[in-house]
Amino acid sequence: MPAKLVADLKGLHKEHIFVPPKVDESILNAAREHLGDTSGKSAEQEPMRQPWILQWAPWASAAACLMLILFLTFPGGKQNSSLTRDAAPRQPFPSPAIVATKISPKDINKDGQVDILDAFALANRLETGAVPEDQWDMNGDGQVNQADVDEISAVAVKLEPGDRL
């Protein structure tokens, strides 16, 4: 930079300009009116306001925690009490397969539905030499063998009219 410019810029700060307090106050009041601050307080006197999200965040998190606790504590609505007729406790969220009204004799693994897993379970039991049970005789020939596995497989993959692949 040129030396004269540097000297002039340094000289600007050496000169002190006196502003009377009344003029300073009127400029400050005009700035407050322009910015919408009618309180007349200076920035040092007024406490800093928090954004609304910070004011409500603790209450919102407390409400969310309370809802989570209630959801985990009361998952099924009515709870079992000692006065109910059932001695066994209820499962809070039964799976749809367990809600079956009647379990088929072809449901070897007792999961509430007859599928290829039942045929596999029977084939596995026959292969491992498990003692056959009478209800495993699916075709009624008096023997538990591969024909019974085939019977369950046929039921498991059977399509009803209107079903699609």
Q: Which amino acid is at 45?
A: Q
21 occurs within a structural domain: no
Rg of the chain over all Cα atoms, to the nearest angstrom: 42
Q: Give the number of C-alpha atoms closer than 13 A to the C-alpha of residue 30, restricted to the C-beta side.
A: 6
pLDDT over 60 (residue 9): yes
108 occurs within a structural domain: yes
113 occurs within a structural domain: yes
Domain that holds residue 130: 100-159
Overall pTM surpassing 0.75 (yes/no)? no
Confidence grade of residue 18 (pLDDT, cut at 50, 70, 90) = confident
Alpha carbon distance 22, 155 (integer Å): 100
**Mean pLDDT of the chain, nearest integer:** 75
pLDDT over 50 (residue 82): no
Cα 80–chain centre separation: 26
Helix, strand or coil for residue 83?
Answer: coil
Of 102-106, 150-154, 155-159, the range with the highest mean pLDDT is 150-154
Best CA proximity match to 42, nearest among 59, 29, 61: 29
151 occurs within a structural domain: yes
Alpha carbon distance 38, 152 (integer Å): 86
More confident of the two residues 23 and 49: 23
5 occurs within a structural domain: no
How many folded domains does the chain comprise? Answer: 1
* CATH code for position 115: 1.10.1330
